[in-house]
Structure 1
Amino acid sequence: MTGVLSVNGTDYSVDLPDDVPLLWVLRDALGLTGTKYGCGVAACGACTVHIDSQAVRSCQVALADFSGAVTTIEGLGTPGALHALQQAWVDHQVAQCGYCQSGQIMQAADLLAVSPAPSDAEIDAAMAGNLCRCGTYPRIRAAVHTAARALREA
């Protein structure tokens, strides 16, 4: 694909084969390494990004198979300020190894966009496809609740 790709509000010219996964475009071609490679088969959620504000697994989206604006973990907050989810992750000390956290946060952002006051069950269901080897699921749930409150109050 030769064309322009909009990522985090910036347009990038790309000239890559159509079958290159978006994950590798972001990491290798654009240098946005916050999105992680986990499994390569969309089973772990580490590579979660947003395309037109919807969470997708970037390892399974070929460059030619989508159009729209991409948001990565680097583009979630505003320059100089963390997104409410990122701040809640820090406040609740969610990350241990930290590897899955960008995908976790992007999935949680998708949840809060459609459910601004999610229940524990809604959080668990929405986050079920994002694996955390360290098992910080209770802290993830608490951070989502904290971020949801902060976003509602803002």
Structure 2
Amino acid sequence: MGNSVWAPYTGFGFRYLNNDSRGETSTGAWGYQRVSRYYYLPIGVTNRFALENSSVLESMIEFDYLIRGQQTSKLSDVSASYPDLENRQDSGYGIKFSSMYRVNDFAIGPYIDYWNINKSDAVVYSAGDSTYIGYEPKNNTVEFGIKASMRF
């Protein structure tokens, strides 16, 4: 459309996050390692708008439908008497936006990624003489910054 190209897309996405909080904090609490895995369906559109001097403004917006999430909490990092927990998450979504100014093979611009994940299933476990219920609470994550890319 004129100086602009619209390119819709979809596919399969995977997000991996390793939050390693092992060790003792300044308040005396003990941390543990937690691994998040999200399998999702991205649906988005990219717009490339030609500017002067062979430059292009590339913008992208994407909706990410969570197919399945899995949280692994390595509570055994705190004490050998605690089990590691696996919690499943079946409900949530993400939204991504970026805008890049490209000149020839170099591009730079801002981005924002947002995740809204609902509470996980509950897992019952025992430690010593006590019984506990472990779950991943509803959570939101916002990531933003500046990204740069170079085509080779």
TM-score w.r.t. structure 1 length?
A: 0.21
Largest Rg, 1 or 2: 2
**Larger strand proportion of the pair:** 2
Relative to its length, the structure with more helix (as a share) is 1
Larger RCO, structure (CA 8 Å, separation 6 or more) = 1
What's the TM-score once normalised by structure 2's chain length? 0.21
